[in-house]
Structure formats: structure tokens, C-alpha cells
Amino acid sequence: MLNQYVDELLKLAILEDIGTADITSEILIPEECYARAEIIGKEDFILAGMPFVKRFFFILLNYIQASFEKPPATFSFEEFFKDGEFIKRGSTIASIKGNARVLLAGERITLNILQRLSGIATLTRQFVKKVEDMSVKILDTRKTIPGLRFMEKYAVKVGGGLNHRFALYDAILIKDNHIKIVGSVKESVLKAKRQCIHQKVEVEVKNLEELEEAISAGADIVMLDNMDIETMKKAVKIANGRVLIEASGGVNLENIREIASTGVNFISIGALTHSAKAVDISMKIKELILF
């Protein structure tokens, strides 16, 4: 199912960027022209997205060859690095041989995928490295670009982080707006536990009183929302192992170790996906190929 989802996403990218034709390449480049291109890292980063790029070119070939009088004769994708590996500035990540029109049509989508996902993986790795000597786990959130969540959460895992719930359908997480409607933390947790006896229940709390409510109601995980360090320490002491504790809100590379030192089990970081900077990668035609 996920493979089919990714395929549909890549097809949408093709429709968005190529549409009916790459008119510039069709005007300038003969159909029989073949070339070799290289994907090159222009800064240091953690690579992510190669499986999606390889799949993308397979789909693109099928899409674009319908406009050719003669189907493209050959295509090859040689990768020199795997996802999760460190890319040093100037490194050649992959070499692609094929029809020049196909290479040019696929250039921007290829780079968009690799730059975005590698940026997420790189930022995640930075957070993970900051607390690698501690027992805390780094989680992502649902703060992703609509439609790209599978890819972006994949990149978090490549960077060494863990995935929080994927979507609304696969885990119970009671947030402040749920509590506002139901009436209290305690009643929200009790109601969820009654309705879904085999599902773990997580609830967000904003103070120590709500934490006590959550624990007494039988919550499995409690999310401490934007609490200061001293309050988090008190929360961990109150919990005393009865529930798992997740810290969330305002996490950055400067304060993550201090947050981790409070003894929380998890730290969820929206910035992994909503604020990751795209890395600098290029794709350049290196030579023409004669048949």
C-alpha cells in the first residue's frame, strides 16, 4: 500500500512539473540524444531519499516515452552512497545514464526530493547526536507538508529519530482542544480507555495538576506541553515510572540536552520536519553518450 502511495505521489509530481511536455528540451534536444549526469553534494549532509529518486526515474521513463517516436534505448542509475551515509561536500552521489530529455525532465523533481529529505535527515542527526549518550528518544510530529508525510517521516528515521504516530488513525493522543470539549484531562483519559481497551492512550498536560489527573485516570503516556525545566523535573519525579513522559514544545539544539537531563523518556520536535533547511545538491550533465 505504501509503495502504491509513493508511486501516486511521484506521478503527481510529474504532472505538476512536466505536465504534457518539457517544451524547452523538446525544442533544443534531439530525441536520439543520450547523456550521463551526476548528482553532486555541494555541502556536508546526511543523505536521504535515494529509493524514491530511483523509483521516480522508473515512473518518469514510462510516462515520457509515450511522446517518443522510438522508446529510449537504455537507462541506468548507479548510486555511490546509501541513505543515512554522510556526504562530504563535492562528493558524487550518483551517476545516471539515459535519454537526455528524460534526464532534464527529471532534474528538478530529483533535486527537490533529495534536498528536502536530506535536510530533514541532517537536522534529525544533529539532534540525535546531541543526546546520544542519554536514554531519551527523539520523535517527530505530524507537522509535515501535506502529502509528503511518509517521505518526511522516513527521512527522520534515516537521521536516527523515531516516528511518533503517523496520522490520526493509528494512535490516541488527547490534546488541549479535546480536553476543552470533554471537560477535563481525567474524563478524557477515562473515556478513551473505556472505548479502546487495547490501545495506549497519550494525553497532553499543561501543568502538574493535570499530570496527576492523567496518571490517576490510567494514561499510558503523558506529553508535557511547553513546560519549563524545573517543572519537567518535578513531573518526572511525580510520575515515578508509572507513565512514560514526553516533552514537547520549544525544543532546539541549544536546550535539548537540558530537557533530556530532566529524565523524560521522549522529546518530540516539530522542527525536524517543519523547519529543516534544504541541503545544497546539484545535478549536472557530464558527457554525451553515442550509440
List all residues 6 or more positions away from 118 whose beta carbon is below 8 Å from its beta carbon.
Answer: 45, 46, 47, 48, 49, 87, 155, 278, 279, 281
Query: Is position 121 annotated in a ligand binding site?
Result: no
CA dist list (Å): 120 to 34, 98, 186, 273: 33, 29, 36, 6
Q: Same domain, yes or no, for 54 and 193? A: no
194 is in an annotated binding site: no
Say if residue 7 is in the same domain as residue 103: yes
Q: Is residue 234 scored above 60 in pLDDT?
A: yes
Is there a binding annotation on residue 160?
A: no
Quick one: 270 and 284 in the same domain? no
Beta carbons within 10 angstroms of residue 192's beta carbon: 23
Same domain for 282 and 191? no
Residue 204 assigned ligand-binding role: yes
- Is the domain of 83 the same as that of 140? no
CA dihedral 226, 232, 238, 242 (to 10 degrees): 70
- β-pairing, 86-87 vs 201-205, is unpaired
Q: How confident is the model at residue 291 (pLDDT cuts 50, 70, 90)?
A: low
Question: 18: domain range?
Answer: 2-120+277-289
Q: Is 165 marked within a binding site?
A: yes
Pair (87, 141) in one structural domain: no
Taking only the tens place, the pLDDT of each residue in 100-143 is: 999 999 999 999 999 999 999 999 999 999 999 999 999 999 99
Distance CA 257, CA 130 (A): 7
| In a shared domain, residues 106 and 143 | no
Looking at the structure, tell me whether residues 270 and 146 fall in a common domain: yes
| Measured distance CA(16)–CA(28) in Å, rounded | 22
Matching residue, cell 525544543: 251
Give the pLDDT mean for 17-39.
95
By the 8 A CB rule, do 63 and 99 touch?
Answer: no
Q: Annotated binding residue at 17?
A: no
Based on the fold, state whether residues 144 and 156 are members of the same structural domain.
yes
What are the grid coordinates assigned to 75, written together? 537507462
- Is-contact 129 159, C-beta < 8 A? no
Q: In this predicted structure, what is the pLDDT of residue 68? A: 78
Q: Whole-model pTM?
A: 0.95
The reply to whether 91 and 137 lie within a common domain is: no
pLDDT interval class at 2 (50, 70, 90): low
- Taking only the tens place, the pLDDT of each residue in 259-273 is 999 999 999 999 999
Look at residue 71 in the predicted model and tell me its pLDDT: 74
The reply to whether 179 sits in an annotated binding site is: no
Is 142 a known ligand-binding residue?
yes
- Calculate the average pLDDT of the chain: 96
Is residue 36 annotated as involved in ligand binding?
no
Closest CA to 161 of 193, 134, 124, 189: 124
pLDDT digits over 42-58, tens only? Answer: 999 999 999 999 999 99
Q: CB neighbours of 34 closer than 8 A, spacing ≥ 6? A: 73, 74, 97, 98, 99, 100, 288, 289, 290, 291
CATH (domain of 72): 3.90.1170.20
Burial class (CB in 10 A: 0-12, 13-18, 19+), 135: exposed
Radius of gyration of the chain (CA): 24
Q: Quick: pLDDT tens for 178-225.
A: 999 999 999 999 999 999 989 999 999 999 999 999 999 999 999 999
The pLDDT assigned to 225 comes to 95
Rounded CA separation 227/251 (Å): 11
Number of domains comprising the chain: 2
Q: Is residue 248 annotated as involved in ligand binding?
A: yes
Mean pLDDT of 140-151: 97
Per-residue pLDDT of 50-85, as tens digits, reads 999 999 999 999 888 877 777 777 899 999 999 999
